[in-house]
Structure 1
Amino acid sequence: MIISLEEMKNYLRIDFDDDDALLENLILSSECLCMDIARIRTKSVFEKKENAKVAVMYAVAYQYEHREDCDHHALILSLRSLLSGIRKVGF
């Protein structure tokens, strides 16, 4: 994972363990989402990009904080903006 569970909990200011499994799943799914948006297939290549970590943390935070009313279209538009500098023209 590009982000550790502890790093994400610190970012979200979470000091309990109840949502650890949820956060781990959100980290993994956010990595995949960001890699798809950036059009990068290899995890090791994606992890080296400058905005990769920020984009994944943003995606996790957005999905965690908006569990009940997550607007995935808005999330994708924000991630496209964050990742526009590293986004490949096509696969």
Structure 2
Amino acid sequence: MVTLNEAKNYLRVDYEEDDALIRQLLQTAKNLVKDVGRMDEKKLVENEDTTRTAMLFCLGYLYENRSNPDYHALTMSLRSILFAQREGVI
């Protein structure tokens, strides 16, 4: 859904040393969006604009706070972004 190049552009990273880390964080971001949003792959695609925003937000947070992330704060922010798309909410 979000490519490595898109992620690096979002993070303003123009070197290759962190590519493996960014790929890993992208997968983590996707999993968190799916979990918090109570979504499967189909729902991710149906709500692509919002889920891409949530994934990029999550990626940025995880990348910038990789030494000491506050997962509770991250989860609460994702819930706010994904509230209308969460399965069972509407």
TM-score by length of 2: 0.92
Partner of 1:22: 21
Partner of 1:7: 6
Q: Where do 5+ consecutive residues of structure 2 fail to align?
A: none
CA distance in 2, matches of 1:23, 1:12: 9
1:85 and 2:72 aligned = no
Q: Where do 5+ consecutive residues of structure 1 fail to align?
A: none
Using the TM superposition, give the Cα deviation of residue 48 of structure 1 relative to its aligned residue in structure 2, in angstroms.
Answer: 2.6
1:44 and 2:59 aligned = no
Q: Give the structure with the larger helix fraction.
A: 2
Letter in 1 for 2:8: K
CA distance in 1, matches of 2:36, 2:15: 31
TM-score by length of 1: 0.91
Q: How many residues end up aligned between the 2 structures?
A: 88
Offset from partner CA, 1:39-88 (integer Å, 9 cap, x none): 112x1331230310000000011000001111000000000000001001
Using the TM superposition, give the Cα deviation of residue 33 of structure 1 relative to its aligned residue in structure 2, in angstroms.
Answer: 0.8
| Runs of 4+ with deviation above 2 angstroms | none
CA distance in 2, matches of 1:53, 1:37: 14
CA distance in 1, matches of 2:42, 2:51: 11
1:72 and 2:71 aligned = yes
RMSD: 1.2
